[in-house]
Amino acid sequence: MTAVTEAAPAQPRHPQLAVSAAIFRDDRFLLVRRARAPAKGLYSLPGGRVEFGESLDQAVIREVAEETGLSIEIVGFAGRREVLPSPVGAAGHYVIMVFAARWAAGEPQLNDELDDARWIGPDELAAFSTTEGLAELIAGARAMVGT
């Protein structure tokens, strides 16, 4: 019997523009765990690729709704993160624009992209395996939201 392994999807040979949102609900923010590559098994912020002809605001609202089922109110641009290709080619090149947002409605729904979602306080983040630079992005977004 042959073991089946999950292959990472083929990555484009040029940078991909993506968005994510640090969503705050009272004094907590939403942390999600990626269920597939890239970043499978790591906790991060909900988000994804910007579609052609879509504004960054439209993209982050759409991606959050698609991934989590939540409605959000964008507060503003909180920072950026760049993910460069790994030496073994396992991940592509992403430029991720991160937004600070407030929860407006809904409860997080799990799906094929996310296998865990939880509202946590900033002091709890260190207990999770996260994508690189997440703590700094959360701190910046938190200052914008004022929690």
Q: Are strands 94-105 and 16-25 parallel, antiparallel or unpaired?
A: parallel
Residue 111, SS3 per DSSP: coil
Instruction: Indicate the pTM of the whole model.
Output: 0.88
pLDDT reported for residue 84: 84
Q: Does position 79 have pLDDT exceeding 90, yes or no? A: yes
pLDDT reported for residue 50: 98
Residue 3, SS3 per DSSP: coil
Distance CA 105, CA 119 (A): 14
Q: Which residues contact 83 (CB under 8 A, 6 or more apart)?
A: 38, 91, 92, 93, 94, 96, 132
What average pLDDT score do residues 66-76 get? 98
Q: Does position 7 have pLDDT exceeding 60, yes or no? A: no
Confidence of residue 89 (pLDDT cuts 50, 70, 90): low
Distance CA 66, CA 140 (A): 24
CATH number attached to the domain at 16-145: 3.90.79.10
Reference 11, options 84, 93, 96; nearest CA is 93
Strands (E) across the chain are located at 16-25, 28-34, 43-44, 47-49, 71-83, 94-105, 114-120
